A and B are shown apart, each in its own frame.
Chain A
């Protein structure tokens, strides 16, 4: 499922105009993004939580050319799945 399919599904279920549903979806993910950019933790009960992890820089190698490259330290979001989603995904 991609974003436009998610927008459609939301619009249908909530009887919203597509434009409105699109606005909602963009607003929600925009808000999550802004929090992560600020380095904040995000917790959405039932879905999961995100925290910003800081990774050290390291010397890597371009696997194609074998060339050594310096990988700069970076921050990435780490997602921990929530209880409800975890249980719903792992059904036998």
Chain B
């Protein structure tokens, strides 16, 4: 089973919102997280984890198909660091 956005909408709808409203609220919540990361600012959800923006330096790479050398540009990536609280809860027997 995979949990999807539809499940999130459903649990939010359980908080006295109609489905349409709940869907909009979930979308706004996700948008706020993305906006922050877009500006390079980390998002820390205590007890859950931290979404971090990291800068990767440019480096020399190779096209594995042609063997051709090329330069991979510097870029920004998003990483997730799990909260120790969540890690503990995931590993409790």
User: Which residues of the partner chain A approach B32 to less than 8 Å between Cβ atoms?
Assistant: 1, 6, 9-10, 13
A35:B33 contact, CB within 8 angstroms: no
Question: Digit string of A65-87 for contact with B (CB within 8 Å is 1, else 0)?
Answer: 00000000011111101001110
Are A81 and B78 closer than 8 Å at their CB atoms?
Answer: yes
Residues of B within 8 A of A (CB): 1-5, 7-8, 11-12, 14-15, 24-26, 28-30, 32-34, 36-38, 41-49, 51, 53, 75-80, 82, 86-87, 89-91
Find B25's partner among A10, A33, A44, A84 (CB 8 Å cutoff).
Answer: A10
A2-B43, A23-B15, A79-B78 are known; give 11 further A-B pairs, CB within 8 A.
A1-B36, A6-B29, A10-B29, A14-B24, A24-B25, A37-B89, A47-B30, A76-B82, A78-B80, A90-B75, A90-B77
Docked Cα-Cα span, A16 to B15, in Å, equals 12
User: How many residues from A make CB contacts under 8 Å with B?
Assistant: 48
For the complex of A and B, the 4 pairs showing the least CB-CB separation, nearest first, are: A79-B80, A35-B3, A1-B36, A42-B3
Would you call B90 and A90 a contact (CB within 8 A)? Answer: no
